[in-house]
Structure formats: C-alpha cells, structure tokens
Structure 1
Amino acid sequence: MVPYKPKILLPLIMVITALTVTADYVRPPPRKTLHFPWDPKPSSQPQQVHISLAGDKHIRVSWITTDSSSPSLVEYGTSPGKYSFKGHGDTTSYNYLFYSSGTIHHTIIGPLEHNTIYYYRCGGQGPELSFKTPPSEFPVTFAVAGDLGQTGWTKSTLDHIDLCEYDVHLLPGDLSYADYIQSRWDTFGELVQPLASAKPWMVTQGNHEKENIPFFKDGFEAYNSRWKMPYEESGSTSNLYYSFEVAGSHIIMLGSYTDYDENSDQYSWLKADLLTVDRKRTPWLLALFHVPWYNSNYAHQGEGDKMMEAMEPLLHAAGVDIVFAGHVHAYERSTRVYNGKSHPCGAVHVTIGDGGNKEGLAHKYKDPSPEWSVFREASFGHGELKIVNSTHAFWSWHRNDDDEPVRSDEIWITSLLSSGCDKKEAREILLSP
C-alpha cells in the first residue's frame, strides 16, 4: 500500500491546532448523575451484554441473568434470525457485603470472519443483537475514551462515539464509578450495552475499580468478574494486564494498580510480550494504562512516576508509538517524548480521562506548559485513532460542546518503524535477564 504523504495537510493542521489552543472556550455547565428507573425483566433474559476480543478470530460475549440455570449459550450467524453456529461458555458470580450479583456469563465464539456482521442471541432467548468484527488489515479505527462514569456527559460521549465509524473501543480505566455500590455496575452495564454489544470494548482497570476493603475484600472483584479480558490468551496470569492484536497493531493494556517493578509478574510478562511483537506483521505498537506518565495538570501530579521509571525503558526499547492514559479528567497530548523530555523516537502520550465522570473536570494546568506538551484542555470528549496504513495514522480529539462533537485537536502521526527508530541495540534491555 502506498503510504500517505500529508505534506499539505500537516501545516494546515498545525495552524488549526494553534488557533484552537489560543481560542477562548466557555465550558457548558456540569451535568448530573444519571438515574435509572427500576425495570423488571424476566430472570433468564440477558442483560448488560458486551463483547471483547478473545484471541485470533474469536469474540467473548459477556452478559448477566438473574436466573442461575440460564445456559451460557450464544447462537450466531451471518443472517438475521439464522443461527448456524453455537458457543458454550461458563459462569461466575460474586457477593459484596449485602449485594449478590446475578449469574455472569462468558462465552467465546469463533472462528469468525474479519470485517463481517454477525447476528446473535444469548441464553437461547432474548432480543437479537449484532456486532461487526474488526478488519484483518488497515485501515482500522479505534474509539478512545476513559473515565466514563454515568452522567449526562457520559451519555453525550457515548452518543458521539456511536456516530463514529470505528472498529474497537479502547478504555484506559475507570468504567462505572460504582465506588463500592455494586448496583451501579449493573446500571453501567445497561448504559453501555447498545455500543458494547455491537463493537468490542477493550478495557483496563483504574482506581475506581479497586473497591478493596482491607482484611475483608480484595480489590477488583466486580471488575474481574464482569469485564473479563483476553489475559490468558496473551500469556498473562492477571486480568489486570494483557495484550491483543487488531489489523496490524499490537496493543498492550497495563495495570497501574498492580505491581509493576522489575521483580513483578507484570514486568516479566511485559518484557516477554514485547519480545513476541513482529513489526512486519504489526507495525503499530500501542499501550494503555490508567495513570498518565506525562501530565502537566495539577490533578494527580506525579502519581505515575514510579511506574514510568520501571516500565518506560521497556516501552521505549520496543518502539511504542502511542500511549493512552486516563485518571486526569481532562485532555492532553504530548509530542514524542522519552525520559521526561522531547525525543524523536519516543512515544506520543495522550491523556484522555474526560469521558464524563461524576467528579467533574480538572481545570488547573501548570503555567507555563512543559516543552513536551502540545495541546491541553479541560473538557469532556472522546478520541478517534484511524491507522491508515503501516506508516501513518490520524488522531483526533472531539470535545463535547452543547451536544455537538467538536473536533478540537487533530494530527497525523508517523509510525516509529517508518521513522528509522527501530534500532536493535535499543532492544537489548528486553533481552536482559
């Protein structure tokens, strides 16, 4: 495929970006937490359906029923109402203080054809749903939004994402903001089902998923039970970190709230996973985690420093192109950066913890901004990353503005592989004991 050469577009984009940075923007007022009326359903009816990637050509379908005897069955096919295939899975459940979850079903189906619409139903009944599998090659588009929650701004963000022609949703932590109130996990599942049942949602944990009670409850019980990701398929021993591949991209999901030092299982897994990356097959390498390493907002300042110290050399050695993080309730994009300063072979870091959380926006930034910070704004929104081919990707951030998505930041990004940054000597750190 002939690579894009956006020589004319780049100066124009730089001008647009510069104008956007300096323009005054009056933010709309905050919105309240959504309230969900009680909606009784048959005990065996599938609820909170969402899908995720589960290895090559496979999809994991997850849903909840209040009937423990309902089968973990997914019937599916390529024509409406005609289910040529079946998949059987397993169930789990959990108790949390006075709360008992429903029966949580996880069923892997496949092998599936790429870029194909499948029609399916869960548990042998319920409404017919459909999803489209990602393509096998470029172009591929990712929707990116973290720190979602369940507010009016969340609904606005989801509505705008629904208008996007994307293939996979990436979420760098803080999903439901249940914060120990387990029924809020259920309402979140209902809120996102229209999107999450139609396109794969790939998520990693944030601080609001911890929900640990010292000496009584370990953390991440609801998250791990409800949002099972392909950690086993990627050789990980924890649902808190894993990797997967989509259409020429290798994507690493890391855990900011589990051990990450050089003696940790996550660190060892990351080194091993990076060594499996074949840049001829997956020329783009992305990483996601919750706590940003490059952050000029006063909110959560310095919280990612220790993880950065331990893991940034690994990501740099492997040539990670783009890093997405959440946690800070605002948007910020860096230039290519490594070891605290601009670097031509570093990663572009994007903080996008502005999906619509209940805590509001983080308005205060350091002044002047660091030399590596290119664009920053405290507004709710989502991002779209379209990887066009092996050398070029187009990133845009869409601000929620009075219910209209406004493209507020955009840039073409050239892959490190095509920039001559794939140096063998840099990979020695991955091979070291």
Structure 2
Amino acid sequence: MVGVQRMWVVLFWTVLNFFFSGLVDGFVLGEQPLSKIAIHRITLGLSNSTSIRASPILLGSNGEDTEWVSVDLEHDNPSVGDWIGVFSPANFNSSTCLPESSESEDQAPYICSAPIKYKFVKDTNSGYTKTGKASLKFQIINQRADFSFVLFSGGLSKPKLVAVSNSVSFANPKAPLYPRLALGKAWNEMAVTWTSGYNIDEAVPFVEWGLKGGHQKRSPARTVGWRDPGFIHTSFLKDLWPNARYNYRMGHLLSNGSYVWSRSYSFRSSPFPGQDSLQRVIIFGDLGKAERDGSNEYSNYQPGSLNTTDQLIKDLPNFDIVFHIGDLPYSNGYLSQWDQFTSQVEPMASTVPYMVASGNHERDWPNSGSYYDGTDSGGECGVPAETTFYFPAKNRSKFWYSADYGMFHFCVADTENDWRKGTEQYRFLEHCLASVDRRKQPWLIFTGHRVLGYSSDFWYALEGSYAEPGGRESLQKLWQKYKVDIALFGHVHNYERTCPIYQNRCVNPEKSHYSGTVNGTIHIVVGGGGSHLSNFTDEVPSWSIYRDYDYGFVKMTAFNHSSLLFEYKKSRDGKVYDSFTISRDHRDVKGCAHDGCEPTTLAN
C-alpha cells in the first residue's frame, strides 16, 4: 500500500511540474479545457460588495451521489470575462505550491490546484453585464470532499479572484460509489471495482453478492490504488453460474462495527466459453467525458460524448459487454476528471462488464517507457487508468490481455507499448490468437487503440502509411495465420470499414455478407465515441467500403457458432448505418488462404 501511495505522490508532482512549466501561455495540452486556466497567474481582487452563495448546503441526504447546486451572485463590476470555478476541497490555498524559479513572477501563486469545472457567467445569464446579477446551476457528483464556488474576472488567461462562496458537501463524502464491472481472469469470475473515501485501515471493503433471490455471499476487496483524496477497491466474485442474474452491493465495515453500503446493483454473468446463446458486444473508442450542466465549454471539447453515453444507456437491455478501446476521459493530468468519467459511464459499467484498453491519452509521456514519446497523458503515465479500471492482464503496467465471452475470443493489444516482432507483447498476441479453439469460439477479435491495420484518415494518408507506421508490417501475418475475423481500432475519430484484406489488397469481393474460408481480416476504425471528429483523405482507397464522419459505436451479435451480425450505429439516433453478416462453420476456419494454411493451433 505504501508503494502505491508513493507512486501516486510522484505522479501528482509530475503533473504539477507540467502545469507550471508555462507552456503555450498556460494552455498546456491544447485539448483539456481545464488546461486553459492560468492557475499560476491568479491574483487577488476580493470585493466586499460582491457576494456569491451556493445552495443547498447539504447534498445527498437521501443517498444520492449526484446533485444540482444553485449559485447566485451579485457583482458590482461585471464583465464578459467573469467565470465561476468549482473547487474541491473547498478550502484551497497556496500551501502546496511548488517553489517558483528565479525567472518567475515576483508574486507566488495564490492557488495551485485547478477547479474541477468552470462556467462563464454570461453564457447562461444574458443580462449579467448590465445588472451584475446572475444565477447558475452546476451538477455536482460526490468526490469525497466539500465544494466551493469561486468568482473570477479577467477570463481564463489573467484570472482575478473576486469572491468565494460558502461550502457545500455530501452527507457521506466517503460513500462507496461508481462500480465498474470487468471480466476476471477466469470466465466464471467478475471483478467489481469502486471508489470510496475509506482507507483500508479505517474500514474493511467487501462486496455482498448472490444469485437474484438467493443467499448473499461476501467477498473481501483489496485496495489496489490510492488517489488523493480517495481509494480504489476491487473485489472478485468467483465460481459464477453462466448467464445467471446476480445482485450485488459494495460495503465497508467500520471499526465501530457499523456498515456503510452502496445502493444495490445487478449483472448477468458471462456465458461459458463456447456456450451457444445470444451474445451482444459493444465496441467504441475515444469517448471522453462531458458535463451535463454545460461546464468546461463541453461542446468545444468532447461534443459527442454524452450522445454516445446516453444512447448506450438507453439500449442497455440489448447488449451484454462493452469494450472501450482507449482514450477514456481525456483527463490529461486533471485527476478529478476520472471521478466524473466513472460517474458518467456508471449506468453501463455497473450493469455489464466494461472492458478498457490503453490509449495515448492514458499512457504517453516522454521517458516513461511508453512506445510513443508524446505528452498526451499529461504526466499520468497510465497510473490512473491502471487503477481506476480492472482488466485481466498478468502485469498491470502492461495493458494487453485476452478475454473470453461465450463464442467470442478477444485479444486486446496495448498500442502504447512496443508491439513489434520479437517483443514481449508480440509473443503474447501470437499466443492469444493461437490458443483459441475455433470449434468452441469461432469469433476471433483483435482490438487496440491506435490503428495498426487500415485507415484513410487524413494524417495517416499524408504520411503514406494509412495506419500507424509499422503496424501492418509487424502484425498482418499473425492476423492472416490465425484467421482473425475482425480487427477494431480507435484513435482516429470517425468510422471506417474495410473489405477482408491482406497485404493492402481485398481478398473477397463481397461487401455485406461473407461466408466460406476466412481469407482476410475485416478492419474497423470506431474512434468516434465522443472526441472531435477526424477528417478523411479526399481519395477513397480501394479497400475502404464504408466511411462515416460522425459519432457512433459498433455492435456485434453472435446468434450461434455459425452466424454473426456486425452493425455500426450512430450515437445521435441509435440507427444502423452500416452492417454485414458472416456465416460459416469451424471447417471454414481451417480452409487454406494465402499465408494462412497452418494445420493446427495450440488449442487443437
């Protein structure tokens, strides 16, 4: 536990160092809205004639983890640059500020922590600059601390602190919240991960669970990651019956013998490998997060995030498992965003397994061991992603793993770690593909974040690679040898489907129905979960069957061992805009294709 705490402290200081380095006039990464705020340049301009008040003072009195707060203000010198920032904890100060260099400003910063969200006053109060009076509403989630609302003038680049509201807080700020389900390392195991304010020395975490209407068991949890100011716990529910409905709730046994409970949830356990039943899988990448109250200029950051989330929540009874293949909240070092993201996806993640992959915005940082040397993670280096969500990898810092769901076998790559031939990940991927028994699990799916296959994205086309350079060259023989049905990727923020393809050439002329020998892999880009859309190249490659510049997600339905339906749906209406079917039996998998005539696999 001490080692994990130390890891988080190092992460915290790394992120702060990055924030205060003064890159691009306070605009650190060019994407995360909170990075626009020049926190280190804040000056004091408190005004006795300005007032700001938040209500209600007590939130969640009936166990709610989300509440609306009204903020009313009167300002004697209103301007178009006035904005309100939400701070948590409420009592912020400069006691933890990093020492400034000799070249920095004479005045040390008053605040060293960014707000968790903000709004410009004028955006919802058109007469504010004339009257000086305004009322705003913020949606607040329980983040294990109290909140205050601060009025600033001067815009985001030269903020002046004018007034601070009273604090508001949840009745139980430490409550267990935001459960995330994930497949365990065995098919009959489910992991439940949640966040609370209870240290393991303060309260014993566990999950109470059982078959719907049956006896309830208790499984202890381990606290796998500390984050200021909360704790992340994971409990493993084992020996589950296949396709059975289970109820569960998270609990903490306090030192005085009393219990703190979450509300009750339920999930359906996984089918056993090869089980012949209806199985429905959702896949998308690059979802991001957005604020339902309009904070953080959400429409300029992740404009499709809520549409995708809400459409999937609406359709929740009609799918069984989710794969979010990288770029989760785009927090970029603003750690409060992870709570807000887990709150946003909770209706899904608490009901069906929510499997994640690592993207550049989770992992990449110079000299941190990532394959790419960019700064997209904002200094997180994968730590929040690896602790906030469980995934069944052997090594948590190596974000590659396999997953079985009935007739599906998934090989999930970590595109932010080296995947080239001869590496540890390459050996894992080959073993993952080779070990499946296609008589039991006919549907073999490869997935990862960056496009290692094919994409006519504008920038990839400009490079001439039409994918991550070296991706196809390293992996296409594995896809062909083991007859991968479909390879899905995110990173590029649009949707695209290729023909069954090998070595840049279509190997099947069909476009909507495929049968017989598996002679090439169909490649899918499904990175239009929520972030800004990516342009295609003007010229359409011969292998590109369908392209869509819009937000959406993919649904795969296995009806049985010989019939699969693939659908692409738009987030805005949930309707199908592209689809195809695959029909075959396991003997077709053994049929010969170019570079794909291996007579046996490890499972034979």
Asked if Structure 1 and Structure 2 have the same fold, meaning a TM-score greater than 0.5 normalized by the shorter chain, the answer is: yes
**Aligned runs of 1:251-270 on 2, under 5 Å?**
251-270=410-429
Map of 1:367 onto structure 2? 538
Tell me whether 384-393 or 326-335 shows the greater mean CA deviation: 384-393
Question: How many residues are matched?
Answer: 387
Q: Structure 2 CA distance, aligned partners of 1:324 and 1:60?
A: 24
Match of 1:86 among 208, 214, 218: 218
Report what 2:146 is aligned to. none
Deviations, residues 223-266 of structure 1 (Å, cap 9, x unaligned): 1111220113xxx6754100011111111100111011222110
The residue aligned with 1:249 is 408
**Which of these residues, 49, 57, 75, is aligned with residue 188 of structure 2?**
57
Please name the residue that 2:286 is paired with. Answer: 147
Paired residue secondary structure (2:344): helix
* Change in CA separation of 1:71 and 1:307 when aligned onto 2, cut-off 3 Å: farther
SS in 1 for 2:571: strand
How big is the shift at 1:83?
Answer: 5.2
Contact 1:72 / 1:122 at 8 angstroms: preserved in 2?
yes
Give matches, 1:193-342, under 5 Å: 193-210=346-363, 212=365, 214=367, 219-232=381-394, 238-292=397-451, 293-301=453-461, 302=465, 303-342=467-506
Q: Which residue of 2 aligns with 1:19?
A: none
Within the candidate set 247, 256, 276, 1:119 is matched to 247
Using the TM superposition, give the Cα deviation of residue 420 of structure 1 relative to its aligned residue in structure 2, in angstroms: 5.1
Q: Taking CA–CA contacts closer than 8 Å with sequence separation of 6 or more, which of the two structures ends up with the larger relative contact order? A: 1
Quote how far apart the aligned CAs of 1:44 are.
3.7
Q: Aligned equivalents of 2:192 and 2:503: distance in 1?
A: 40
Answer yes or no: is the 8 Å Cα contact 1:174–1:206 preserved in 2: yes
CA change 1:420–1:270 in 2 (3 A) is closer
The answer (yes or no) to whether the contact 1:134–1:140 under 8 Å persists in 2 is: no
State the AA in 1 paired with 2:309. L
Q: 1:161: how far off?
A: 1.5
* Bigger mean CA deviation after superposition, 212-221 or 323-332: 212-221
Q: Any residues of structure 2 matched to 1:398-413 within 5 Å, and which?
A: 398-401=569-572, 404-413=573-582
How far the C-alpha of 1:423 sits from its partner, in A, is 3.9
Deviation string 1:52-79 (CA, Å, 9 cap, x unpaired) is: 0002210000011112133231110123
| Unaligned stretches of 5+ residues in structure 2 | 1-32, 35-116, 118-137, 143-168, 253-260, 291-302, 370-378, 509-518
Quote the Cα distance in structure 2 between the aligned partners of 1:176 and 1:83: 37
Between 1:35-44 and 1:125-134, the stretch displaced more is: 35-44
Q: What residue in structure 2 maps to residue 21 of structure 1? A: none
Instruction: Assess if the C-alpha contact under 8 Å between 1:133 and 1:167 holds in 2.
Output: no
Instruction: Quote the Cα distance in structure 1 between the aligned partners of 2:576 and 2:323.
Output: 19
Q: Check the 8 A contact 2:181/2:354 in 1, yes or no.
A: yes
**Distance 1:144-1:421 versus aligned 2 partners, 3 A rule:** same
Provide the residue aligned with 2:102 in structure 1.
none
Indicate how the Cα distance of structure 1 residues 36 and 183 shifts in structure 2: closer, same or farther if over 3 A, else same: farther
Q: How does 1:4-23 map to 2 (within 5 A)?
A: none
Partner of 1:4: none
Contact 2:362 2:380 in 1 (8 A): no
Query: Identity rate of aligned residues, in percent?
Result: 24
CA distance in 2, matches of 1:271, 1:378: 33
Bigger shift: residues 33-42 or 390-399? 33-42
From 334, 340, 343, the counterpart of 1:187: 340
In 2, the alpha carbon distance for the partners of 1:61 and 1:237 equals 16
CA positional deviation for 1:141: 0.4
- Rounded to whole Å, the distance in 2 between the matches of 1:176 and 1:186 is 9
Partner residue of 2:312? 161
Task: Call closer, same or farther: CA 1:420–1:252 in 2, change over 3 Å.
Answer: closer
CA contact (8 A) 2:187 2:270 kept: no
CA contact (8 A) 2:487 2:524 kept: yes
RMSD: 2.6
CA contact (8 A) 1:63 1:104 kept: yes
The residue matched to 1:426 in structure 2 has which SS? coil
Secondary structure of 1:333 counterpart: strand
Residue number in structure 2 paired with 1:16? none
State whether residues 439 and 586 of structure 2, in contact with CA within 8 Å, keep that contact through their aligned partners in structure 1: no
The alpha-carbon distance between structure 1 residues 333 and 286, as it changes in their structure 2 partners (threshold 3 A), is same
Give 3-state SS (helix, strand or coil) of 1:122's partner: strand
Q: Using a 3 Å threshold, how does the CA distance of structure 1 residues 388 and 148 change in structure 2: closer, same or farther?
A: same
**Unmatched 5+ stretches in structure 1:** 1-31
Task: Give the greater-gyration-radius structure (CA).
Answer: 2
TM-score w.r.t. the length of structure 2 is: 0.60
Task: Give 1:20's aligned residue.
Answer: none
How far the C-alpha of 1:400 sits from its partner, in A, is 2.7
1:334-384 Cα offsets, whole Å, 9 max, x none, are 110111121241111111101112xx111x322331111110011011121
CA displacement 1:34-59 (0-9 Å, x = unmatched): 97525444244112210000022100
State the AA in 2 paired with 1:133: S
Residue 333 of structure 1, CA deviation: 0.8
**Alignment partners' CA distance in 1, 2:319 and 2:600:** 35
Q: Distance in 2 between matches of 1:134 and 1:376?
A: 33
Distance of aligned partners of 1:365 and 1:418 in 2 relative to their CA distance in 1, 3 Å threshold: farther
Q: Deviations over 1:376-395 (max 9, x none)?
A: 01101112110112222111
